[in-house]
Amino acid sequence: MKGNLQNSEALLAKAEEQKLYGKLVAQLKKDFGLANIHIDFPIDVPRSELPKILHEKLYVLLMEKFSDYLNLIYVIDIPEKAFKEIQVTDSVEVAGQVSFLILKRELQKVTLRQKYDV
């Protein structure tokens, strides 16, 4: 994805700017569903709330359901290189970094899908 987005807020602002925010949310719900993980947020979730919900869910998965967490990462297709760049401090911080990686990958998916009309 073009541009070096540094945080979830900038990434979601870019998604809204490109009118892809709704598609990003739908893709998130779809991939969580494919991983057989329930995540509870409406399709019109406010941009400010989405990172918080995602971060909280990832923290719970990381701490209590690690195999589900790994399955989700596989379904979303986060590159291994990105995981190697995560700075391990504590589980809360790791969940935050992974939530950013997930949002980044999901935006990449919807951007490419729109570009190539798939």
Q: CA–CA separation, 71 vs 67, rounded Å? A: 6
Considering the domain boundaries, does residue 3 fall inside one?
A: no
Q: Domain containing 29: what range? A: 8-112
Considering the domain boundaries, does residue 1 fall inside one?
A: no
Segment 46-63 shows an average pLDDT of 93
pLDDT tens digits, one per residue of 10-35: 999 999 999 999 999 999 999 999 99
Q: Range with the lowest mean pLDDT among 28-42, 57-71, 79-93, 97-111? A: 79-93
Q: Residue 1: its pLDDT value, please?
A: 45
Per-residue H/E/C for the chain: CCCCCCCHHHHHHHHHHCCCHHHHHHHHHHHHHHCCCCCCCCCCCCCCCHHHHHHHHHHHHHHHCHHHHHHHHHHHCCCHHHHHCCCCCCHHHHHHHHHHHHHHHHHHHHHHHHHCCC
Considering the domain boundaries, does residue 2 fall inside one?
A: no
What does pLDDT average to over the chain?
90
How many domains, the chain?
A: 1
pLDDT tens digits, one per residue of 75-103: 999 988 988 888 878 889 999 999 999 99
Q: Residue 73: its pLDDT value, please?
A: 94
Neighbours of 96 (CB within 10 A): 19
